[in-house]
Amino acid sequence: MTSIRRLRDFVVETTRIIDRDRDEVATLADILPRLDELVAHDDWLPDEYAAPDPQFYRQYLLHADPLERLSIVSFVWGPGQKTPVHDHRVWGLVGLLRGAERSIDYRRTADGKLTADAPRLLEQGSVVAVSPRIGDIHEISNARPDGVSISIHVYGGNIGAVRRATFDPATGVEKAFVSGYSNGATPNLWDRSHELGS
């Protein structure tokens, strides 16, 4: 049985950090251990935000700060699914809740092309950071050939409404996109009536 309490507590804690920290380095350092704790437990994500699609990966919005300083999403990957090479344009943290992902980071060369780093395997419990400051361009794929993988992402903005880019890895040519979300409703984090005995 899932309990949304862990996600609600994470939203409250990260919002307090956003209110307090004005520096990206401090924000990432303060949120990272909290995301690490969240993805260490696989008992809180509602099933409707963990459902794969047979053709495309899913990006489910779990929470967005009303001032768009923060968004939390679940990425759900079916077998063989992957992103194009893309950027974020805001800071972010990615924590693996289930399964495993393969991440390939890219760097721009002096001539504007992209160079790929060696692939990294991110397994359940791994947490990594992205931002334009530390490295922002990558490609992610489900590392499980026969199963679903799920990662929880925390971004310093409403990631579904950020104008970003995909990249041709051979030429570095950018194509603008806005990702949006796969769901039309977010989890109800705030109905605590059953906890209070109503």
Annotated binding site: 86, 88, 138
What's the CA gap between 198 and 187, in Å, rounded?
Answer: 20
Spell out the CATH class of 5-177: mainly beta
Residue 195's pLDDT is 76
pLDDT at 194: 75
Position 16 scores a pLDDT of 97
What sign results for the dihedral spanned by CA atoms 115, 154, 185, 187?
Answer: positive
Structure tokens at 192: 């605590």
- 67 CB burial (10 A radius; 0-12, 13-18, 19+): exposed
Locate all alpha helices (DSSP H) within the chain, ordered by sequence. 5-20, 24-39
DSSP 42: -
Predicted local distance difference test score (pLDDT) of residue 197: 67
**If DSSP codes are grouped into helix, strand and coil, which group holds residue 32?**
helix
pLDDT at 103 over 50: yes
The answer on pLDDT for 66 being more than 70 is: yes
pLDDT over 50 (residue 80): yes
**pTM of the full predicted structure?**
0.95
CA distance 182 to 185: 9
Check if the beta carbon of residue 116 is closer than 8 Å to that of residue 167: no
DSSP-assigned letters across all residues of 167-188: E-TTT--EEEE----S-SS---
* Amino acid at the residue 165: A
Tens of pLDDT, residues 12-38: 999 999 999 789 999 999 999 999 999
Average pLDDT over residues 56-73: 97
Does pLDDT of 2 surpass 80? no
Residue closest to 59 by CA, chosen among 160, 147, 195: 160
Residues flagged as binding site for Fe cation: 86, 88, 138
Q: Is 101 left (phi over 0), alpha (psi -120 to 50) or beta?
A: beta
Reply yes or no on whether the pLDDT at 1 is more than 50. Answer: no
For residue 107, pLDDT over 70 is answered with yes
The overall average pLDDT reported for the chain is 94
